[in-house]
Amino acid sequence: MRHREAADLAGSVALGVWAAFGVLAAVAVGGRGAPLELDRDLLEWSLDHRPATALALARAVTATGTGVLPYALVVVAALVTGRTARQRLGAALFGVVCLGTGQALRYGVMELARRPRPPYEDWATQASGWAFPSGHSTTAALTAGLLLVAVSLRAPRGKAVLWLLIGCWGAAVGLSRAYLGVHWFTDVAGGWLFAAGWLGVFLWVAARWLPGLFLAGGEPRPSTGEGSCGPRS
């Protein structure tokens, strides 16, 4: 796939995802942020299914969706993606900026939405701030997306297994937030859509204006009919 085609695809996907996020935000934030029936049903299910082992596992999983670890994973993805020192540095900056700006923008959206979290007495872990979109879900999904890009570009074999493991981790972090009662499920879904939309924007930028960031070489050059020593007679 040529760089322009990749940029068009990333841009189209991003537009579609942002449209879906807008619809979900309008539904989730409407009615003063009241939970949907699905949100209430899933919270009730989690309250009835919280054995000690499952709670410990959920808390361990949710802890991986914040702090230093996502940034460390992004840097590892950059080291895997780049073939030269310059590409590795550029990929690392790209990933860190994508993740950092995504978190900052997500925080701004959360302050605008101001959706309340589930009742405090239903929480099984600590949380702060408003609910929509979920911060852990956004961060983990963004990190997983960057890792998937790295695997797609560089993994010689076993891509399907790596894709599955990375995707399951990114989803599990978000689901753990709903299971632990600190987010409604629609907050988690909003985080996933937000992450996909923001990653799509960055991939569109990279494919359109930074084609050499991850991949060596650029677009094929048109043939000029000239040899290495000058024009042929």
pLDDT tens per residue, range 188-212 = 999 999 999 999 998 888 887 766 6
Q: Which of 162-171, 188-197, 211-220 has the lowest mean pLDDT?
A: 211-220
What is the token pair recorded at 167? Answer: 């995707």
Residue 193 domain flag: yes
| Alpha-helical regions (H) of 49-184 | 52-63, 68-81, 85-113, 135-154, 159-179
Q: Residue 208's domain spans which residues?
A: 52-213
At residue 167, does pLDDT exceed 80? yes
Residue 32 domain flag: no
Are residues 74 and 146 in contact, defined by beta-carbon separation less than 8 angstroms? yes
Residue 206 domain flag: yes
What is the token pair recorded at 187? Answer: 């907050």
Q: Classify the phi-psi angles of 70: left when phi > 0, otherwise alpha if psi is within -120 to 50, otherwise beta.
A: alpha
Q: Residue 218, exposed/middle/buried by CB under 10 A (0-12, 13-18, 19+)? A: exposed
> Measured between alpha carbons, how far is residue 229 from residues 88, 220, 221, 225 in Å?
34, 21, 18, 12
At residue 58, does pLDDT exceed 60? yes
Q: d(Cα 229, Cα 43) in Å, to the nearest integer?
A: 73
pTM of the model: 0.87
Number of domains present in the structure of the chain:
1
Q: Which 3 state secondary structure label does DSSP give 154?
A: helix
Residue 26 domain flag: no
Residue 30 domain flag: no
Residue 164 domain flag: yes
Residue 12 domain flag: no
At residue 232, does pLDDT exceed 90? no
Residue 117's pLDDT is what? 97
What is the token pair recorded at 134? Answer: 């979920």
What is the token pair recorded at 38? Answer: 């699905």
Q: d(Cα 145, Cα 195) in Å, to the nearest integer?
A: 8
Are residues 35 and 118 in contact, defined by beta-carbon separation less than 8 angstroms? yes
Residue 11 domain flag: no
Mean pLDDT of 101-114: 96
Element (H, E) at 11: helix 3-29
At a CB cut-off of 8 Å and minimum separation 6, what does 184 contact? 28, 35, 36, 39, 42, 43, 115, 117, 118, 131, 132, 178
What is the token pair recorded at 121? Answer: 């007495």
